[in-house]
Structure 1
Amino acid sequence: MSRMELIAPCHFGLEAVLKREILDLGYEILEVEDGRVTFLGDAEAVCRANVFLRTAERILLKVGSFRAVTFEELFEKTRALPWEAYIPKNGKFWVAKASSVKSRLFSPSDIQSIMKKAMVRRLQEKYHLEWFPEDGAQYPLRVFLMKDQVTVGIDTSGMSLHKRGYREISGKAPITETLAAALILLTPWKRDRILVDPFCGSGTFPIEAAMMAAHIAPGMNRSFTAENWTELIPKKLWYDAVNEAGDLIDDQIETDIQGYDVDEDVIRIARRNAREAGVEHLIHFQRRDVRDLHHPKKYGFLITNPPYGERLEDKKDLPELYRAFGEAYRRLDSWSAYMITSYEDAEKYFGRKADKNRKIYNGMLKTYFYQFQGPKPPRRPKSPEQGLE
């Protein structure tokens, strides 16, 4: 199976960031839809996408797509797909998740049950078996129905790709690693610039930034479901992808990445997570209230996920918190600030209208990514050697 379609789901509103990542890996984009990007690749692409993509939630191997408006049609068209090309006789297969939007078939449990029966019928005919042991590698399916169009993919990742392996313990209301990475990639921040998260919680923003700065691939220290699909993907390709990632690491660099939080226990968790990610030496964590936020350098970045006040009793504290954050920001000369929050009065109490505002769904929660842009730093003069090139 040399060429295959791969589907990479992502957070709604961040498809362009994921598209750029996939193009940077060298793969052809086939389609960009709400919440997912489809691209063309081979068995090696499955491995490299899982290891290198920072903003994808998982990588699905597309089996097919078709229109279905009745359960009979769903059964027959699922049965017509070439399941034997993917699932061996002893493979364990099931529909792990089905989602339906604006479609006549809308019951996830019925969709899952009928599609499983159709797959069994197809494989019985192809393998001449009445019963399947299902004691081999796992092949979990994910199915999307959108306006009666059914898209079927086998999940190559297993656990969501936001689970990098470094964050076993989280503080309150953590932001996922994939979302944090995508938001950083939406800013002009580069590894030679200052980055401070004044509400760092378990450290996700600083850790993801440090991993980018050190060129540490997000998936190089975890496992994937498709590692056991040896009939489709040779083991060597996984080793090659991880070795490629290892060769790119450059963690002996100078950075100015800082994370602050008012809770000392949370700071301890953030330090532990950074240590697990291999970037503890690149980040300075400190217990500090947002009111004490200051920095002597210019042209830095604040990238943060301040409290939203999702619980009613916490909302009363938000005006003062955002007011203090805005005042601290105004004391920072030439800095830019980026914050994701669902708090609708964020700009009002921050004291400035955002230059840009992007709506992003954090799970089912509608949030806004407010972007307050400072001036660009002056261009550095070229060295004599650069002038001779």
Structure 2
Amino acid sequence: MKKYNFVAPCHFGIEAVLKREIQDLGYDIVKVEDGRVTFEGDISAVCRANVFLRTAERVLLQVGRVKATTYDELFEAVKAMDWEEYIPEDGKFWVKKASSIKSKLFSPSDIQRIVKKAMVEKLKLKYRVNRFAETGNEYPLRVVFYKDEAIIALDTSGDSLHKRGYRKNTAKAPISETLAAALIMLTPWNKDRILVDPFCGSGTFPIEAALIAANIAPGMNREFTAENWDNLIEKKLWYDAINEANDMINDDIEVDIQGYDIDGEVVEFARKNAELAGVDHLIHFQRRPVSELRHSKKYGFIITNPPYGERLEEKEQLPPIYQALGRQYKALDSWSAFVITSYEDTEKYMGLKATKNRKIYNGMIKTYFYQFMGPKPPKKKENLR
């Protein structure tokens, strides 16, 4: 079966997590770059990657990579590509987005115009027509320039993969579903360990943890642009991916996942979102301030996204919040804590030095993932007969 290259963009700083996810799906890694992972697979990878990947922002089907420092070079390189293998005669095609970093060609609108023009010229020759009706299925493209090299790719996902379909109710400044999943996967947490988010907001961390625990694929309940590409992908391949995902679900499990927030309305939002995600039976949500964070069991995890205070007047309110988080965490016997925030005085006011501190970009905001590692639980002794 023919092999293709796929590009999976992700948040800066979590490339290693996405790489591991892709390898776990059985695909070979071609290249890892800042903010994206390129991998190889057959056409069914479009379906499986969109349905199963928790940390990718979208799945792009790479048509080509080209070096170009002039618009003439870009035009000729794009025109030389085999567009007829991807886009049917009635297909609607356009460059949905172009970006450029450290490249001589830096105007997104000009890049979009030249790429579209080159595609039209190539397809006019192949289909022997002078114009295209573009009344058929949609084939959006993305062009990513970096250091004069461009990735030319079809966007198979449509809406970003962080849009799982469950977060209808949002609180202020929610963390994205893909980033929340990636941060959980950066920790040693597993479904046998307690997880508490004392600033749960819309419930994203607890819900993503429950989806991971129950092995529920994140893309099961949404649509993708490439589902309509019947010239490239048989419908059966989409059904196969969903059936595979259904077979893997195990939500009849015992877990201890909790979400607290000081705002009662926000807690209700989180409960409703968990219901939409099908994991409300796996999570306990409660209105509770961080000052009342406590748990009787040992070896638990705090994974949370506390207030950042991006505005000056908000920053003034942060010290007591982080002091309370640090105080309550210290009182928890043998727990670990993982905190994503842009607040530079996190360690100062928590009164703790992080074991590790990882730089992560949450959208355009530079944040840090503070990791306060507690001891590992003792290994369970096997019963000897």
Q: TM-score, normalised by structure 2?
A: 0.99
Which runs of structure 2 are paired with 1:157-168 in the superposition (5 Å)?
157-168=157-168
In 1, Cα distance between equivalents of 2:378 and 2:119:
61
Offset of residue 384 of structure 1 = 3.4
Match of residue 19 from structure 1: 19
Could you tell me which residue of structure 2 aligns to residue 61 of structure 1?
Answer: 61
Cα deviation, residue 264, structure 1: 0.4
The within-5 A match list for 1:18-167 is 18-167=18-167
Q: CA deviation at 1:26?
A: 0.5
RMSD (CA atoms): 0.8
CA distance in 2, matches of 1:134, 1:276: 36
| Unpaired runs of at least 5, structure 1 | none
* 1:71-117 deviation digits (Å, cap 9, x = unpaired): 11111111111111100001111111111010000011111111111
CA deviations over 1:260-294 (Å, ceiling 9, x no partner) = 00000000000000000000000000000000000
Cα distance per residue 1:195-231 (max 9 Å; x no partner): 0000000000000000000010000110100000011
**1:306-330 Cα shifts (integer Å, max 9, x gaps):** 0000122211101111011100101
Structure-1 residue corresponding to 2:211: 211
Letter in structure 2 aligned against 1:202: S
Say if 2:29 is the partner of 1:9.
no
Distance 1:29 1:196 in 2: 34
SS at structure 1 position matched to 2:284: strand
For the residues of structure 1 that align with 2:349 and 2:227, how far apart are their CA atoms?
A: 49
Aligned-pair CA distance for 1:133: 1.1
For the residues of structure 2 that align with 1:358 and 1:251, how far apart are their CA atoms?
32
Distance 1:232 1:214 in 2: 32
Give the counterpart letter for 2:69 in structure 1: V
1:310 matched to which residue of 2? 310
- SS of the equivalent of 1:384 reads coil
1:384 alignment partner in structure 2? 384
- Residue 302 (structure 1) shift: 0.1
- Give me the whole-angstrom Cα distance separating, in 1, the residues matched to 2:32 and 2:194: 33
What is the percentage of aligned positions where both structures have the same residue? Answer: 69
Any residues of structure 2 matched to 1:296-335 within 5 Å, and which?
296-335=296-335
The 5 A counterparts of 1:220-369 are 220-369=220-369
Q: CA deviation at 1:9?
A: 0.5
Q: Which residue of 1 aligns with 2:198?
A: 198
Which residue in the other structure is 2:171 paired with? 171
Q: State how far apart, in whole Å, the 2-side matches of 1:2 and 1:114 are.
A: 29
Q: Which amino acid aligns with 1:171?
A: A
User: AA paired with 1:146?
Assistant: Y
Number of residues of Structure 1 aligned to a counterpart in Structure 2? 385
- What's the TM-score, normalizing by structure 1? 0.98
Give CA deviations for 1:140-172 in whole Å, capped at 9, x if unaligned. Answer: 111111110111110000000000000022101
